[in-house]
A and B are shown apart, each in its own frame.
Chain A
Amino acid sequence: MALCIGVMGAENQPLLIKISPNIQDPIKFHFMLHSALDVVEEKSQPLPKTPGSISGADLRELYLGLLYPSSDEVRVYGYCANTRMKMILIVEASNTTLRDNEIRTMFRRLHVAYSNMIMNPFYDVGQPISSKSFHDFVDSMIAAFGVGKLVNPTLYSVEMEYFEDVPTLTGIRLLLRS
């Protein structure tokens, strides 16, 4: 489910990046986080004045929703606070139980944790986060949402192998389950 959580500062500097320990290629997630920042930037810009447009109403919200049209593997969600602190959450696409509302709640909880963390006088605003409680919180958030099967590295390679032999999707699903 939650594969990766990234927290970025006002100048887009990474404050904290946590990737689920089951992931084999964290570099890919770093790449996804960084490219997601461009979309966040774009979506959190003040709008051109088009009164009454639906997107206008949406964009007053801090939660930015799905950043890309969903791909096969992952879905990327974004959140940009008024202080330009950004949070990005990557979840598995296969997980259909996570609705928009749950993601929103996760972001809100993260934001509360962040605003609590920022009260720590030993933390300099805009520096990488070293607070243990915040790390634990993000860890628990990743752990609580687990890691599904498809991204499990061993199964992932199985899928790739069988893709050549069994062309139908149902075939892959069955093989994976067995």
Chain B
Amino acid sequence: MADAISGPSYLYNLLANELSVALYGDLDKTSENMGALTMMTIKDRKAAAAAAGPSSSEAPVDTSASARDSDTVFPKLESIGYQVGQRLIERLTKEHARFKDELDRMKFVCTDLWKYLYDKQIDTLRTNNQGTYVFTDNLFRPLAFFSAEGVDQYYPQSGRFIAFPCGIIRGALSALGIRCTVSAKVLSVTCCVFEVVVERT
């Protein structure tokens, strides 16, 4: 298992492929920037966050575009995440013993998958035992380096960075045999809550 979780290089290969296939040409500049941001490694993000300090005034410029984008770009990014999650999970579960039940699979997503993607585990996993699971990540990596000045500075924009992780969760779970819908909420700039509702048929 330690071998399989060696680093997110596969993720970035896939991301680059999927993003270029799906987003090629038919999105405006704002969305491409968004894709590029999502692709950065954590190290890159640190550097970018440091660099973004002075140029942060650019960020609010795209607020007018964001409303227009959100309808088309979110499902698109989400479906990209779905593809990525679905493919990654095959590799990650290769050496893993057969899963016992649904909770076992959820735990795998919260621990192993999350560790592979973001170098940390989900902080809490809660369930009502009726098919709703809530993952809370108190320091969600894609948002972890946002708070440049003032906690709420980028809060309005932070929502757009969770579509992709939502898709990854949905893809991973569907590959493991759980059909579900995933929604997410950003509570504060670094804290993100994912809600997974399993579809019962």
A: which residues have CB within 8 A of B? 10, 44, 46, 59-62, 80-85, 111-112, 114-115, 118-119, 121, 125
Contact = CB atoms under 8 A, between A and B. Distances in A.
B175 interface: yes
B176 A83 contact: yes
Contact of A83 (B14, B17, B100, B175): B175
A12 B89 CA distance: 19
SS of B interface (majority): helix
A59 B98 contact: yes
A121 B100 CA distance: 30
Interface string B167-182: 0000000011100000
A61 B94 CA distance: 11
Given A61-B97, A82-B96, A82-B176, A121 B90 contact: no
Contacts, number: 53
A119 to B, nearest CB: 6
A81 B90 contact: yes
B56 interface: no
* Residues of B in contact with A, size category: 20 to 34
Interface in B91-108: 91, 93-94, 96-101
B94 A119 contact: no
A121 B93 contact: no
A121 B18 contact: yes
Contacts of B14: 119, 121
B93 to A, nearest CB: 4
Contacts of A118: 87, 90-91
